[in-house]
Chains A and B, each alone.
Chain A
Amino acid sequence: DAGVTQSPTHLIKTRGQQVTLRCSPKSGHDTVSWYQQALGQGPQFIFQYYEEEERQRGNFPDRFSGHQFPNYSSELNVNALLLGDSALYLCASSLVAGSTYNEQFFGPGTRLTVL
């Protein structure tokens, strides 16, 4: 049973560029959440996708956008990269469950460096 996978593992970009990160959820999961983890900090929620729609969003600017495909995989896009966007980007998958929390399983992350 494959867990959550993310690609690429590492990425180096320059300021102003755009980046796309990819995530495949754990088998059987239909919900994907994205988190940003800066060095020395805990992960911060970016947004969550379910049924190909953004279901919740954290306090991130519109430069951060996403997409979910019919096979439940997801992309995170960041436009006009800033130095402060350098971080580990984590994808987590789960089963949507209404008011009941279901465990989120994290992928290994994509480490983005913006120069």
Chain B
Amino acid sequence: RKEVEQDPGPFNVPEGATVAFNCTYSNSASQSFFWYRQDCRKEPKLLMSVYSSGNEDGRFTAQLNRASQYISLLIRDSKLSDSATYLCVVTRDTDKLIFGTGTRLQVFP
């Protein structure tokens, strides 16, 4: 079983839709949590950190549930430019990033 599990998708949604991605992690010692975005054939880039209190950045909201070992990302009012793969990432040691497989999002006109 992978340490970080994600639904690979693809999620095909129309512009303006709200879409939610979920992720679970198996190691309760995980310390920090992130969502990264990766465009096709490009490098991953940090989208946002995830906290138990939840955090919001414009149209993006991330939430962490430590008891359930569950992380979510909500994208509101989807744009064509949101089309990408969204990677759920956790850390246990200080700097080693542990990635999920990624969830592919395709937003269509």
Give A60-115 interface residues, CB cut-off 8 Å to B. Answer: 90, 92, 94, 96-104, 106-109
B100 partner residues in chain A, CB cutoff 8 A: 42
Q: Provide the bound-state CA to CA distance between A30 and B102, in Å.
A: 28
- Whether A41 contacts B101 in the complex (CB less than 8 A), given A90-B44, A106-B45, comes out as yes
Chain B window 34-68, contacts with chain A (Cβ cutoff 8 Å), 1 for yes, 0 for no: 00000000111110000000000000000000000
- Please tell me if A28 contacts chain B, counting CB pairs below 8 Å: no
Nearest Cβ on chain B to A42's Cβ, whole angstroms: 3
- Please tell me if A18 contacts chain B, counting CB pairs below 8 Å: no
A98 partner residues in chain B, CB cutoff 8 A: 94
Specify the chain B residue showing the minimal Cβ separation from A109.
B43
A107 partner residues in chain B, CB cutoff 8 A: 43
How many residues on B have C-beta within 8 angstroms of the other chain's C-beta atoms?
Answer: 21
Nearest Cβ on chain A to B107's Cβ, whole angstroms: 20
User: How many residue pairs, one in A and one in B, have C-beta atoms under 8 Å apart?
Assistant: 57
Q: Is the CB of B87 within 8 A of A101?
A: no
A31 partner residues in chain B, CB cutoff 8 A: 95
Q: Is the CB of B43 within 8 A of A45?
A: no
- Please tell me if B31 contacts chain A, counting CB pairs below 8 Å: yes
- Whether A44 contacts B99 in the complex (CB less than 8 A), given A90-B43, A103-B46, A108-B43, comes out as yes
Give B70-109 interface residues, CB cut-off 8 Å to A. Answer: 87, 91, 93-102
- Whether A45 contacts B31 in the complex (CB less than 8 A), given A106-B43, A106-B45, A107-B43, comes out as no
Q: Provide the bound-state CA to CA distance between A108 and B94, in Å.
A: 23
Q: Provide the bound-state CA to CA distance between A8 and B42, in Å.
A: 15
Give A30-46 interface residues, CB cut-off 8 Å to B. Answer: 31, 33, 35, 40-45
Q: Which of B42, B43, B46, B102 has the most CB of A within 10 A?
A: B43
Q: Is the CB of A42 within 8 A of B102?
A: yes
